Structure 1
Amino acid sequence: MSISVRNDLVLENLPLVGYLVSDLCSRATHLSREDLASVGAIALIQAADAFDPELGVPFGAYARRRIVGALADDMRSADWASRGTRRRIRELQGVRESLTASLGRAPSVDELAATLGVDRSSVASTLEDADRSVTSLDGGGEDTATLMDVLASHEISPEDALLVEERTHFLRHAVACLPERMAFIVTQIYFEDRSVKDIAAELGLTHSAVSQQRAEAMRLLRDGIESHYAAETVIDEVPQHSRVARRRRDDYLAALAARAVGGATRAAAVATEQVDAVVALGREAGAVASVAARRAGAAAAAARWQAEAVVAPVEKVLA
């Protein structure tokens, strides 16, 4: 067969591909029409290449069988279920329809299992497979929300990643500013995953002494974190959780402030404080403007009254 004859066969039967793809997509809406059309077109070209007119088979019937087979192979390769799973689903659906017709109600899982001769868990698993549906992540119309729009993302956002990095960075600074023994105990327990017993043996202390040092370090860390992320106007109001001397606590907070300055969350607290200050100034300016407006209104009224007092006698004389 010449290339021109083959091309003519392909062009004449190309609408057959569109018909078969449309029929298939009407029964399975999750399929991609463009992908199936490409598969069908390739199958049509391959059918034209392999067609032998001397066999007496019409090309349309031969091409139809080849296209349907190619579409089935493509869907089967992309199907999540194996042939065995699909066969079990068909068998289960047939038995369920028969029992529904004979019992006059929907059969139970135990009744389905007894009819099929399998255990209950197998029937339950097949029912779950039968209820599964496949949908496109980016399908839907212009005004329809797609599955991609409503799926929850488990990836951390850039904003959250920045906050986590900042807090981790600050926490390491806070631990480094602790007194030497406290910093060692916290580092070994929480960063090196060592037990209190091993640390006590290394330092020559009792288990309770190490635990007390760890607890006091946690309280100091809490003081440092709350003081760092508090707004400027409320830093003095942050309660003291640690039990060390006030001067020792202040020295720790000063050392921590020198090593960990700023940060996104700290900047947010400062920005909030600045916004509150601007709002307060705005309210004060509004109050001043209101008083000035009232005074200006009173002055304008007095001026009108004085003008009327002067004009009235003149109009009376002219009259």
Structure 2
Amino acid sequence: MYTATGRPSKSDALKQHAPLVRRLAGQMLARLPASVELDDLVQAGMMGLLDALGRYEETQGVQFEAYATQRIRGAILDELRSNDWLPRGLRKHARDIEKAIQKATQLAGRAPTEREIAAVLGISLAEYQQHLVELQGSQLLYYEDFDREDADSFIANRSGDVDDTPLAQMIDQDMRSAVIDAIERLPEREKLMMSLYYEQELNLREIGAVMGVSESRVCQLHSQAVARIRARMREREGVTSA
């Protein structure tokens, strides 16, 4: 059905662009904990699409899909920020591990081993590794790290001709240099894993095959690498483990 202006009705436009919403939601879900439901992200994304349909003007010189992508991602980001999407217990484990990595780094004068991090936490190596598995889906940046203005900037940066890797989708332009520096400081094994995951876009099973380890071990390495990066960024920002 078309309106008097010859443009598709909103209902038809929503149906036409629904696959875009599902694709974007799926891309974001792939980097989120298992507690996040795809349908929730799709529902938020559809609200973003509806907002885009109401605001879009062809005279802007921007293709509708590019414009809608910004609005859809923004709506999903708002949904994630407004909900406690990372369970509090897991968030505490993540923070505790980051602080332990900071302290263990100071004590060792280098990137600490898993056993050294576990010792600072006062738990066994096996228990520490189990925490890493539970933190599968940990982010380089948590959504609560953004305020609304930062989120708008982050979304707006996605509309230009920029790097479109999953890593770039999760990081604001102004923070990339800090993250890249932190990645360069990772132990070689974790650096390789991050490259395969974020640059080559391999899944955990595929990375395990490349590295000759189990999928569960890749999960541990990923969670630990993310914790090291966040610990390094907290240190740069003057947030200590004390």
Relative to total residues, which structure has the larger helix share, 1 or 2?
Answer: 1
Normalised by the size of structure 2, how large is the TM-score? 0.36
Normalised by the size of structure 1, how large is the TM-score? 0.28
Which structure is richer in relative contact order (CA contacts within 8 A, separation 6 or more)?
A: 2
Higher Rg: 1
